[in-house]
Chain A
Amino acid sequence: MPDATGLELYAQELRDRDGESIVDTEFHRNRATLVANPQKIKPVLEALQGKGYTSLASLHGVDYYPHEPRLGVLYELLDMERVDRISVKARVSTEDPRIDSVVELFPGAEFPEREVYDMFGVVFEGHPDLRRILMPEDYEGFPQRRDFPTGGEPVLFTFNEEGSYGRDM
């Protein structure tokens, strides 16, 4: 894990290549996170891949409701030779949840990106086969968003049996 100084050095290096690529850095509980511009996520990850972070250990979505922009896509990168990790975060809004797919850089990102699309509705542009992966394909809504109702199906018990399906037909 790069320390706080190392993280700033990384960020500066990436900013030198493209001034808009890194929005912010976070260093919290020894976890280094680069907050990247969602439009520049692919060059950022490519640069980090060239620095040795060759393994995408995890790709997942977060809903930061009520903070804006709400959605976040997190990339956990791992350098397997130095056993060194770094996180990259990109924030996208719910109005226009688009981000570039990184399947070309990390082929293993295909299914995680489908899952993030399934649960949060983030559209990964350039993904070879962006479909729902866990929920049925005709499902409506993105169930892991914080504004999605938590309750599931109403359950039939004896006290609410009257007037339920099968009775009033």
Chain B
Amino acid sequence: MDLKREQLPSDFRIRQLKARDMLRGDLEGEDLERFVEERVVTTTLEKAVAWARGNSFFPLTFGLACCAIEMMSIVASRVDIARFGFEAFRASPRQADLIILSGRVSIKMAPVIRRIYDQMLDPKWAISMGACCSSMGVFNNYSLVPADKFMPVDVHVPGCPPRPEALAHGVLRLRSKVQGNAPAGWRERYEAEGTEELLPEGDLRSPDISVLQPGDTAGA
């Protein structure tokens, strides 16, 4: 197959040379003014960081119920969340900065999820996907809790389950929230200072709590 080298725009070489001159300090006076006006964008560091952060979420590989199937398909070819930089689902909460609660949260699962959320490093974000973990949907009974009861949620995606497009829209809403410079710490974001859990009294490495011993989960 014949490949034809595309003709570059004629002024491309000129701009390239100008950029070289500017970096060398050879550009002066009116030329420099015009070059800066045309070619340089100024911003604040916070905005640049927020821009980068909002374009590179690392979601947690975490599924709860049927919504998880829809969540999985947002990385597939049709919705292809990789276009926005969200495709790297991390297997560890330490490496993730977005948790998608995809399904129903039972009252036995809630402390587990809260622990996973606490293990994630700031800045961290949460999407509650589907009716169950937002309003408990059809399972509004004794066994479930809505996610807002035990952790801060940034975006609720309604649906039962939401289509992958809806979740992608939710992720993009979260992106605009992050790029709009929402505070990175969730306590700051939701004015939740002073609600920190207190550690139990005493030495955590005491024999009462010995999760480090194999097979012994007492105190965990």
Those of A15-46 within 8 Å (CB) of chain B: none
* B143 A143 Cβ-Cβ under 8 A: yes
A83 at the interface (CB under 8 A from B): no
A152 and B108 contacting across the interface, CB-CB below 8 Å: no
| Closest Cβ neighbor of B142 among chain A residues | A143
Give the residues in chain B near A148, CB-CB below 8 Å. Answer: 142
Complexed CA–CA distance, A2 and B107 (Å): 43
Q: Which residues of A120-164 are within 8 A (CB) of B? A: 134-136, 139, 141, 143, 148, 150-153, 155-157
Q: Is B171 an interface residue (CB 8 A)?
A: no
Residue-wise interface mask of B (165-202) relative to A, using a CB-CB cutoff of 8 A (1 in contact, 0 not)? 00000000000000000000000001010000000000
A155 touches B142 (CB 8 A): no
- Residue B59 at the chain A interface, CB threshold 8 Å: no
Q: CA A143 – CA B142 in complex, angstroms? A: 7
The answer to whether A157 touches B141 (Cβ under 8 A) is no
With a CB–CB cut-off of 8 A, which chain B residues contact A135? 107-108, 142-143
Instruction: Tell me if B135 and A155 are in contact (CB < 8 A).
Output: yes
Q: Residues of A contacting B107 with CB < 8 Å?
A: 135-136, 139
CA distance A166 to B149 in the complex (A): 10
Give the docked Cα–Cα distance between A141 and B141 (Å). Answer: 13
Q: How far is the CA of A150 from the CA of B142 in the complex (A)?
A: 7
Partner of A155, one of B108, B136, B141, B143: B136
Most chain A CB neighbours (cut-off 10 Å) among B108, B135, B142: B142
Q: Are A153 and B108 in contact (CB under 8 A)?
A: no
Determine the residue in chain B with the shortest Cβ distance to A165: B149
Contact A152/B148 with A135-B107, A136-B107 known, Cβ cut-off 8 Å: no
**A155 nearest CB neighbor, chain B only:** B135
**Do most interface residues of chain B lie in helix, strand or loop, or is the interface mixed?**
loop
Contact (Cβ within 8 A) B148 A136: no
Which of B134, B135, B140, B149 is A151 in contact with, Cβ under 8 Å?
B140
Q: Does B130 contact A (CB under 8 A)?
A: no
CB of B164 closer than 8 Å to a CB of A: no
Chain B contacts of A134 at CB under 8 A? 108, 143
Q: Which residues in chain B, 112-171, are within 8 Å of chain A measured between CB atoms? A: 134-136, 139-146, 148-149
- Cα A152 to Cα B146 in complex, Å, equals 10
Give Cα A148–Cα B140 distance, bound, in whole angstroms.
14
Q: How far is the CB of B123 from chain A (nearest CB, A)?
A: 20
Q: Which of B108, B134, B140, B190 contacts A136 (CB 8 A)?
A: B108
**Which residue of chain A has its CB nearest to the CB of B134?**
A155
Give 1 or 0 for each of B96-109: 1 = CB within 8 Å of chain A CB: 00000000000110
- CA of A148 to CA of B141 in the docked complex: distance in angstroms? 10
Min distance, Cβ B141 to any Cβ of chain A, angstroms:
5
Instruction: Tell me the complex Cα distance, A67–B40, Å.
Output: 82
Known pairs A135-B107, A150-B141, A153-B149 / 13 extra A-B pairs, C-beta < 8 Å: A134-B108, A134-B143, A143-B141, A143-B142, A151-B140, A151-B141, A152-B136, A152-B141, A153-B140, A155-B134, A155-B140, A156-B146, A157-B135
By a beta-carbon cutoff of 8 Å, the part of chain A in contact with chain B is: 134-136, 139, 141, 143, 148, 150-153, 155-157, 166
19 pairs of residues in contact across A and B, judged by CB atoms under 8 Å: A136-B107, A136-B108, A139-B107, A143-B143, A150-B141, A151-B140, A152-B136, A152-B139, A152-B141, A152-B144, A153-B136, A153-B140, A153-B144, A153-B145, A153-B146, A153-B149, A155-B135, A155-B140, A156-B146
Nearest 5 pairs of A and B residues by beta carbon? A143-B142, A155-B135, A152-B140, A152-B141, A136-B108
